[in-house]
Chain A
Amino acid sequence: MKRNIWILIYILFCPISATIAQQSGTNEEQLQKDTSSYLSNTTIGGYGDIVYQRNFNEKFSTINLERFVLFTGHKFTRKISFFSELEVEDAKVSGGEAGGEIALEQCYLKFNINPNNYIVGGLFLPRMGILNETHLPNTFNGNERTQVETYILPSTWRELGIGYYGNSNRIPLSYSIALVNGLNSASFEHGSVIREGRFEGRNASANNLAVTGSVQFYSGNLRTQIAGYYGGSVGLSPSEADSLKLTSGMFGTPVAIGEADLQYEAKGFAVRILGSVISIPDASDINRAYASNTPKTAYGAYAEIAYNILESMNSAKGKQMILFVRYEKLDMNASIPANGIIDGTLNQQHIITGITYLPIKNVAIKMDVRFLHTGKQNPSLSNPLAPAYKENNTFLNLGLGFSF
């Protein structure tokens, strides 16, 4: 029996191996040629970061491979290309266990009109704030992304739609306008304003839409930007929306966001200033339907100054040692509707200071301390069995980041 099996294997594979042996020279050459030509139009990149955090109030530390993101791009023709970012958060995703995420951060087709203008279609990051579009860990200070661009501008914020991006011919001005799917107010959560209402490309409702636009201006080392967003947050069918007494439709139960920022970099100094406001005029309707304690207004602002102490040292050869301090102020329930509950813990101030060391431009070693101060906790929101809420806390963060 065993002998028969070996004969069968020999008969099956021998001619194939012989054919492969005969053709390997020409096929390998052809494959190499094809692959080389194909890969010359394909780009690969990525980024990742690992963070250790010590929470001094909780006397608890964590270490986490927060994210690894792989970029893949391909140029089909001179005019049409593809770009994607695939992200793994927390290193591992396991069935039935909490934590971890695999998600597409971007996945779109890009149609070049000319060197100054292009259109994108698919899952992309609207131009809002500083970090939403460019959030590689070696391009910002501190291990954590800014609190304002996490809870007021919910970076990394991607939605499905089409966008037009342009640059002025005559002045250093860039602009964008995009039409994307709207938010889902059913998922808004107390403490994160609109963050949980993002669809991020998964089964988004297309009954409600949003328009977002930006204008960016460069003047030497100064970049200024203003951006806005206006979109509906109820994508239900009219009958479902009526039953919840919500206004559906394209811009029904709207969310409006305004943002302005500036960045200045020169002679080793870097300054970033950003302010943003969210307005949800029909927050009371959302609270009545979903009891999510959605605010009518939330706002946040921050200012950061940084200096590279190796800037004037010729021996540093491209190394950077950046000292920075940042102040952030955000209030996630700056105004609430009559059916909301004010929560002082969402009125926060953060002071972050630390060092970012870049031995090369693409690798960052970071250390920072974040001091948090919040308002008082509303007794009606506290758990009598939980330890008393502390309005001050300190976090120590150590991390590694890279991009390529």
Chain B
Amino acid sequence: MERRNFLKTTGSVCAMVSIAMVTGSLTSCSQLPIYKTAILENKVAVPLNLFQQTSLQIIKPAGYDYNIALQKENDGTFTALLLRCTHSDNQLSSTGNGFVCNLHGSRFDKEGIVLKGPAERPLKRLRTSLSSDNVTIYLS
């Protein structure tokens, strides 16, 4: 009976801690800025005014296989990272301060540098160009 009580108590505590962890994290986190856009001539255009409040946008080109992380650097230039794991081409999830592949556990920082293998190569950087209103990302 004591063991049963112990298990019930331990189970309840574990469940409560888990729920608290998840809800605590959920309430404390900021939302990921997502921008959905169409692909025109293998390019996507992202309005510069999106970067007034944030330095990072997750770009979701319609019909494209992977998202793109578009980062505004301190010098005003832009870095576009293809969110495709360089190990097995799996889609990456954003962690808020980097990216992770759930297939084999590879982790990348915000700059696309490998933090944990098995991936060996950094994330692919896509070419960008800047105009007065937009930053253009070239998909090939």
- The chain A residues found within 8 Å of chain B, CB to CB, are 43, 45, 47, 71, 73, 75, 78-79, 81, 83, 112, 115-116, 118, 127, 133-134, 136, 138-139, 165, 167, 169-174, 215-224, 226, 258, 260, 262, 275, 277, 297, 299, 301, 334-335, 361-362, 403-404
Contacts and interface: CB of A to CB of B under 8 A. Distances in A.
A133 B93 CA distance: 15
A386 B77 CA distance: 73
B91 A361 contact: no
A380 to B, nearest CB: 19
A115 B7 contact: no
Could you say which interface size class chain B belongs to? 35 or more
A226 B87 contact: no
Given A71-B88, A134-B104, A403-B117, A334 B3 contact: yes
The 4 closest A-B pairs by CB, nearest first: A134-B105, A218-B95, A260-B18, A403-B118
B67 interface: yes
B26 A171 contact: yes
Contacts of B7: 277, 297, 299, 334-335
A78 B84 CA distance: 13
Contact of A172 (B60, B89, B94): B94
A75 B94 contact: no
Contact of B89 (A43, A133, A262, A335): A43
Interface in B33-85: 34, 60, 64-67, 83
Nearest to B105: A134
Contacts of A216: 102
B93 A335 contact: no
Given A45-B118, A133-B102, A404-B118, 16 more contacts: A43-B88, A78-B65, A83-B103, A133-B103, A136-B105, A138-B118, A169-B34, A219-B28, A219-B96, A223-B95, A260-B14, A260-B17, A262-B21, A299-B7, A335-B3, A361-B114
B103 to A, nearest CB: 8
A115 B64 contact: yes
25 contacts: A45-B104, A78-B65, A115-B65, A115-B91, A118-B91, A127-B102, A134-B104, A138-B118, A169-B32, A170-B34, A173-B26, A174-B93, A216-B102, A218-B95, A219-B29, A219-B95, A220-B96, A223-B100, A224-B25, A258-B14, A258-B15, A277-B14, A361-B120, A362-B118, A404-B118
